[in-house]
Chain A
Amino acid sequence: MKAGINTRIAYTYMVSKVKSTLVAALGVTFGIGMFIFMNSLITGTNEYSEKTMLSATPHIRLYNDNKISNTDMLNRYLGDRTINLISNPQLVPQDNRIFNPDAVAAVLRKRKEVIALSTQVTANIIYSKGNVQENGTIFGVNIAEQDKMFDISSNMIAGKTQSVADNPNNILIGIGLAQKLNLKMGDYVRITTSTGLTKTLQVSGIFKTTIKNVDETKTYVSLPVVQQLLQKDRAYITDIYVNVKNYSLATETGNSMAQQTGYTSESWQQSNEQSLAGKKIRDIIANAVIFTILLVAGFGIYNILNMVIYEKIKEIAILKATGFQGSDVVSIFIQQALLIGLVGSAMGLVVGWFTSYLLSKLYLGLGNVTYLPMTFLSKHYIQGAIFGLLTSFFAGYIPASKASKVDPVSIIRG
């Protein structure tokens, strides 16, 4: 089936103005190209920062928070004959342990969305070598569980993660701490707790993550080492880390786990609110830029159509005189706009891909960001094409409906 007469007229009008058509199409091209490039870069950046966050934070952390004092006890002893109130309630400091951690862990492992789980004890301590001291946090962990969750092995630049499990005097330290205290493999480092207890450990591994702060403060030892330092029993656990299948739902899953176990949950989103705000701001900036470009592209199409309609007003009149209806005229010029949009969008897809490709090869070398983080998702290209066509449609609609209202009599009699 051949194209209808309206399409043929639209096409002829378009090719009769190659130059202006190209200019208008280029507007769409840049809009769509920019749309694709921006989205590819932003998604890349978001994925990168998400990866960075998740390399240090579990999807969900369960811990025992201090509770604010309530009237439960009063009610139990005084009954409900009186209304019991506590004025100025305080947080009750308590042993922040997870009671019977093995049972809690077993309950959590039964949930089918859980893919990794790790129990641990953390303590704020001071590292020292000679007279040099540094603050930090020591993690008493089951290293195999922890490795499964954060893939510490792939970050090791010296030694093995397993060494911590093999010998209770071994410690894994970050590259930053190693440099600050001039520690090498096999060197000894002294640990001092806030209560003044000390212990000397031997460096059996050095890791390098993507986060400077982690590399300078975090260390791993086996669980009993920290339990001893804190003078606690072998069942003392402060945190349970959980990774789940769908980490974007971590907050909801965490809440349900908190309800199930009675402990407080914190998802990676909640502990990284700052970075997620950055993501939102990036999205807003990108959308503003894209919207502006598409608006300008829309004006380009609007402009060329107005020009064509102005020039062809007599032809529109004669078409109406020979029986074309208002809707036919609208269809002619909308189709012309869409043709321009189609050409522009098609070129925009190529330009967008090419720009993204070129800039993904741009070396940054800032911190751990070596190259510009870029994604290549078909979703962005489809969205881009749809946006291009939508812009063309709306830009074409205004002049087209204006053209459809042309009164043939007033034009033809001159």
Chain B
Amino acid sequence: MSIALKAEKISKYFYTPEKFKVLSDVSFEVQTGEFVSVVGKSGSGKSTMLYILSTMDTDYTGNLILNDQQITGRSVNKLAAFRNEHLGFVFQFHYLLPDFTCLQNVMIPALRLKKLSAAEIEHNAYEKLKTLGLEDQALKTASRISGGQQQRVAIARALINEPAIIMGDEPTGNLDSKNTEVVFDIFKQLAAEHNKTIITVTHDNDFAAKSDRIIEMKDGIIISHDRKPHEL
């Protein structure tokens, strides 16, 4: 099995209001096709770590390798291009562009990547929405659909460029139990059937328990990242 993510001694400080070490020497690996949940008390540094892993935050020490590519030390523009092609994000809030239709929202990252023609992208986006059960909402404006639907559109957007790694920061935080289950099943399927790597922060213990592996954080350090017995 190849390694999708390798974090080596990642440390980060915040300087306001006072100097404070939010992450200290965080090291771990994630295999390709693994579905990992990150849990821990509020304020333990989960989001901070995820934004570093997502390449958006570059203000840290240590080393990060994603998809066998050296990430630490790359220029901002190169990181943006890497995210565009290889990473997908889902946040607690959907962050769709409300002036565009659902279909257009899903297409935007692919139009940025410019690997396919607009017609092909539209076709793919429509397919993604279909697998998420949203084909009827495709042409509605993103601000005119329900919260659960919006979150699923956001997932479709995260998947449009067929990224190898998908990261989520409490992607089900705003959803009811039924929609949470839908999102979980999508992630599970992506990992199991499409060999995608999923790393998601969650406060939902059931959600975490059903994933392949749980990484638990406390005060900026990882206190356990055991594989569950049945996975080994």
- Interface residues of chain A, those whose CB is within 8 Å of chain B, are 2, 4-5, 8-9, 12-13, 16, 314-315, 317-328, 408-409, 412-413
Cβ–Cβ < 8 Å partners of B67 in chain A: none
- Which of B57, B97, B111 lies in contact with A315, CB distance below 8 A? B97
Query: Do B80 and A320 touch (CB < 8 A)?
Result: yes
Q: What mask results when residues 93 to 135 of chain B are scored 1 for a CB within 8 Å of chain A, else 0? A: 0010101100000001101110000100000000000000000
- Which of A12, A319, A322, A325 lies in contact with B99, CB distance below 8 A? A12
Cβ–Cβ < 8 Å partners of A321 in chain B: 54, 56, 83, 89, 95
Question: Which chain A residue shows the least CB distance to B91?
Answer: A412
Q: Does B84 contact A (CB under 8 A)?
A: yes
Query: Do B47 and A413 touch (CB < 8 A)?
Result: yes
B59 to chain A, nearest CB (A): 9
Cβ–Cβ < 8 Å partners of B112 in chain A: 5, 322-324, 328
Cβ–Cβ < 8 Å partners of B13 in chain A: none
The B contact surface, by secondary structure, is helix
New contact pairs (13) apart from A321-B95, A322-B84, A412-B95, CB-CB < 8 Å? A5-B112, A12-B99, A12-B100, A314-B95, A315-B95, A318-B95, A319-B108, A323-B82, A325-B80, A408-B56, A409-B51, A409-B56, A412-B51
B184 to chain A, nearest CB (A): 22
Q: Does B216 contact A (CB under 8 A)?
A: no
Bound: A2/B82 CA distance, A: 25
Instruction: List 7 tightest A-B contacts by C-beta distance, closest first.
Output: A323-B84, A5-B111, A318-B95, A322-B109, A325-B80, A323-B83, A16-B99
Interface size on B, residues (CB 8 A): 27
Cβ–Cβ < 8 Å partners of A320 in chain B: 56, 80
Q: Does B25 contact A (CB under 8 A)?
A: no
With known contacts A5-B108, A322-B83, A413-B47, A13–B56 Cβ distance under 8 A: no
CB<8 Å pairs between A and B, sample of 14:
A2-B118, A4-B111, A9-B97, A12-B100, A13-B99, A315-B97, A319-B108, A322-B112, A323-B82, A323-B83, A327-B77, A328-B112, A412-B95, A413-B47
Bound: A327/B83 CA distance, A: 16
Question: Which chain A residue shows the least CB distance to B88?
Answer: A322
Query: Do B85 and A322 touch (CB < 8 A)?
Result: no
Bound: A409/B47 CA distance, A: 10
Cβ–Cβ < 8 Å partners of A324 in chain B: 80, 84, 112
Q: What mask results when residues 19 to 62 of chain B are scored 1 for a CB within 8 Å of chain A, else 0? A: 00000000000000000000000000001000100101100000
Query: Do B51 and A325 touch (CB < 8 A)?
Result: no
Question: Which chain A residue shows the least CB distance to B58?
Answer: A409
Cβ–Cβ < 8 Å partners of A314 in chain B: 95
Cβ–Cβ < 8 Å partners of B84 in chain A: 322-324
Cβ–Cβ < 8 Å partners of A13 in chain B: 99
